[in-house]
């Protein structure tokens, strides 16, 4: 009898664990997506000799991909390759639209400048517009805003990725020495206040939507990448500089750096100096020629993160696509033998 009771207990625990790990809805997929890359690599990729062996469903499910710093980039690349293959096959079968495919794909090219995990846009959709409204209405309450953003892990990821992308793109586009000096000063001040935790208190966040609108327009021009739009891009840079230095930062050292100017700026008013910055032929790199696929993907992804305002809870909308994603996700959490290396497998012949 004790043996039967023990067997029944083990069986019930197994059923309970299976029930807990079953992904039935898109909401459950979103909440557990961060575990998929780790589960994929644990189940389907042979372990390295230096890695300790882990067995059982609990070990597989409890492995959090976001907490594995050593092989994070390698694991992300392995998972992205398979995940994107599944998503593109859905598009080939017309189960999803082009827009849904863009929202579901993981970046093919890891952006090493960002130093963070890039999740599919459908997990981050609408997070930036919401965070923007929260910052605008924060009234200088840094800790409260930080807590609200960090309570939503995907919102935190979206905010960090968009700021890092914004900084990298601006620095990449700006080529003039004078302009570089101004840009470096601005980002140094912003990063200093982020580190100190007083960004919201020191800067005027009510003007942030204006900067957001200008940057979205800039990303739109980068998507088109046309020579005839160069003058508009120059104007956007000047407008963004005006918003940042006059409306958001309001700091004497940054404003004085812009206003004092350099050789050729003597006798000019502040407005005239703003109109001269970014205007010379070599001050801004635009259009981007040649434009690599990695650059196009980066700009397209950023545009989605910035502009998708509706929730992506129903992506994909096709029931068959949902069923297949659910089946694939659940299969990663099955209690299966650890994958051996190919050279250790027995031949069928």
> Looking at residue 269, what is its pLDDT?
43
> Looking at residue 52, what is its pLDDT?
53
> Looking at residue 275, what is its pLDDT?
65
Average pLDDT over the chain reads: 82
Rounded to whole angstroms, the Cα distance separating 267 from 284 reads 25
Rounded to whole angstroms, the Cα distance separating 67 from 87 reads 25
Measured at the alpha carbon of residue 194, what is the angle toward residues 305 and 111, in degrees to the nearest 5?
Answer: 40
pLDDT tens, residue by residue, 211-256: 999 999 999 999 999 999 999 999 999 999 999 998 998 765 566 6
> Looking at residue 131, what is its pLDDT?
94
Q: Higher model confidence: residue 237 or residue 271? A: 237
Which positions ≥6 away from 81 have C-beta within 8 Å? none
Which positions ≥6 away from 95 have C-beta within 8 Å? 316, 318, 320, 321
Task: List the single range of 28-32, 54-58, 81-85, 112-116 with lowest mean pLDDT.
Answer: 54-58
pLDDT tens, residue by residue, 305-318: 999 987 778 899 99
Contact 333, 56 (CB under 8 A): no
When mean pLDDT is compared over 23-32, 285-294, 329-338, the highest value belongs to: 285-294
Which positions ≥6 away from 27 have C-beta within 8 Å? 313
% of the chain beyond a pLDDT of 70: 78
Asked if pLDDT for residue 158 goes beyond 60, the answer is yes
Q: Higher model confidence: residue 311 or residue 85? A: 85
Question: Which alpha helices (H) appear in 243-333, and where do they start and end?
Answer: 252-260, 270-276, 293-307, 319-331
Question: What's the chain's Rg over C-alpha atoms?
Answer: 25
Give this prediction's pTM: 0.80
Question: Which alpha helices (H) appear in the chain, and where do they start and end?
Answer: 2-21, 26-32, 36-44, 57-62, 72-92, 98-104, 121-124, 127-136, 142-150, 153-173, 177-196, 199-202, 208-224, 230-242, 252-260, 270-276, 293-307, 319-331
Rounded to whole angstroms, the Cα distance separating 67 from 35 reads 10
CB burial class (10 A; 0-12, 13-18, 19+) of residue 265?
Answer: middle
Residue 240 tokens, joined = 């963004």
> Looking at residue 174, what is its pLDDT?
97
Asked if pLDDT for residue 133 goes beyond 50, the answer is yes
Asked if pLDDT for residue 60 goes beyond 50, the answer is no
Asked if pLDDT for residue 264 goes beyond 50, the answer is no
Rounded to whole angstroms, the Cα distance separating 245 from 223 reads 27
Closest-CA residue to 129 (of 221, 240, 248, 212): 212
Task: List the single range of 150-159, 161-170, 174-183, 260-269 with lowest mean pLDDT.
Answer: 260-269
């Amino acid at each position: 009898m004790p043996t039967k009771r023990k067997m029944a207990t083990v069986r019930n625990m197994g059923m309970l664990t299976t029930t807990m790990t079953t992904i039935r809805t898109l909401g459950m997929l979103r909440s557990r997506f961060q575990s998929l890359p780790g589960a994929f690599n644990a189940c389907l990729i042979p372990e390295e000799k230096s890695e300790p062996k882990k067995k059982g469903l609990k070990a597989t499910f409890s492995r959090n991909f976001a907490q594995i710093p050593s092989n994070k980039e390698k694991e992300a690349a392995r998972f992205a390759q398979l995940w994107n293959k599944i998503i593109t096959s859905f598009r080939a079968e017309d189960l999803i639209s082009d827009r849904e495919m863009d929202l579901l794909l993981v970046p093919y090219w890891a952006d090493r400048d960002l130093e963070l995990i890039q999740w599919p846009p459908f997990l981050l959709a609408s997070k930036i517009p919401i965070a923007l409204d929260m910052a605008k209405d924060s009234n200088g309450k840094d800790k409260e805003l930080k807590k609200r953003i960090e309570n939503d892990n995907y919102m935190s990821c979206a905010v960090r990725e968009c700021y890092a992308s914004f900084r990298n793109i601006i620095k990449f586009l700006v080529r003039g020495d004078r302009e570089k000096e101004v840009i470096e000063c601005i980002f140094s001040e912003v990063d200093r206040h982020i580190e100190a935790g007083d960004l919201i208190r020191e800067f005027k966040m009510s003007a942030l939507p204006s900067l957001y609108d200008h940057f979205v327009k800039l990303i739109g021009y980068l998507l088109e990448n046309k020579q005839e739009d160069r003058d508009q891009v120059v104007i956007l840079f000047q407008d963004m500089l005006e918003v940042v230095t006059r409306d958001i930062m309001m700091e004497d050292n940054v404003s004085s750096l812009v206003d004092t100017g350099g050789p050729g700026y003597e006798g000019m008013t502040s407005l005239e100096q703003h109109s001269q910055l970014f205007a010379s032929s070599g001050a801004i790199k635009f259009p981007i020629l040649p434009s690599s696929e990695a650059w196009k993907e980066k700009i397209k992804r950023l545009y989605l993160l910035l502009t998708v305002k509706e929730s992506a809870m129903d992506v994909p909308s096709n029931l068959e696509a949902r069923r297949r994603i659910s089946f694939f996700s659940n299969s990663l959490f099955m209690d299966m033998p650890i994958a051996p290396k190919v050279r250790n497998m027995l031949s069928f012949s």
